[in-house]
Each structure stands twice: as C-alpha cells, then as structure tokens.
Structure 1
C-alpha cells in the first residue's frame, strides 16, 4: 500500500493493518524455521511497511495532542 493511501486511514485502521503485518512477519519467521525458502525481499518489505505505519500513527497522535497546546502557546506569545 502506498503512503498516500495510508495517510487517508484513521489511527484505528492503521493499527489493525500493523497487527496484520506483524502476524504475517511472524508466519514468515515460522516458515523459515520449517526449512521452507522465503524470498528475502519479503522480510524487508514487511518491516518497512510496519515502520511506515508506526510512524504515521505517531504523527497522527502528536497532531491530536498538540492541536490545543499550539494554540495556547501562540496566544501566550501574542499577549
């Protein structure tokens, strides 16, 4: 999924997607232990996708918590 598509989703959907990817990563790990050959690029793709999602969740959470504090900080500077 592209980053623009991820940005349109809300935090709840992003977390669900991250959990699904973590499960997929776990399944890949179990398959590799059972001597089944796994393409190495899959590991990298999933890890990067998880990191992208976690970054977006953090940014969205900071945006919600900082909305009120930004306004109060600018008001105090203007006084």
Structure 2
C-alpha cells in the first residue's frame, strides 16, 4: 500500500476518523473493513491512544478510486 520508509514519509497533516469519514463519504465501519482488507491507507499511531491518517495518503487513495475503471 503506502511505503512508510524514512525516505518516503508523507508531508502534511494527520486526519482523525471523523475527518476521514467527511472526506471520503464512507461510514466508520466501511473504512475499518477496507483497512482490514488492505484496501485503504494504513493508520498511523499518533500517540499511545490516538491514530490517524496522513492527509496526502487519503487524497492519493481518493484519486486512485476516481481513476479506477468502473464495473457493473
């Protein structure tokens, strides 16, 4: 998914779950399901009790979804 090596650390800000929900238009359950399947950007541990996502990773995921071929 996303290379988190020191040579490729995303820049920008962290988004918490409520902001990710608003940004992608999916429910918390759907985001968690996609994350478990490896179909969503990885969470980043911000503090011992807090996780979030890099804003750039969410934007890239959205762009990939927009550019994906439609089926159906």
Normalised by the length of structure 1, the TM-score is: 0.27
**More helix, by proportion:** 1
Normalised by the length of structure 2, the TM-score is: 0.29
**More strand, by proportion:** 2
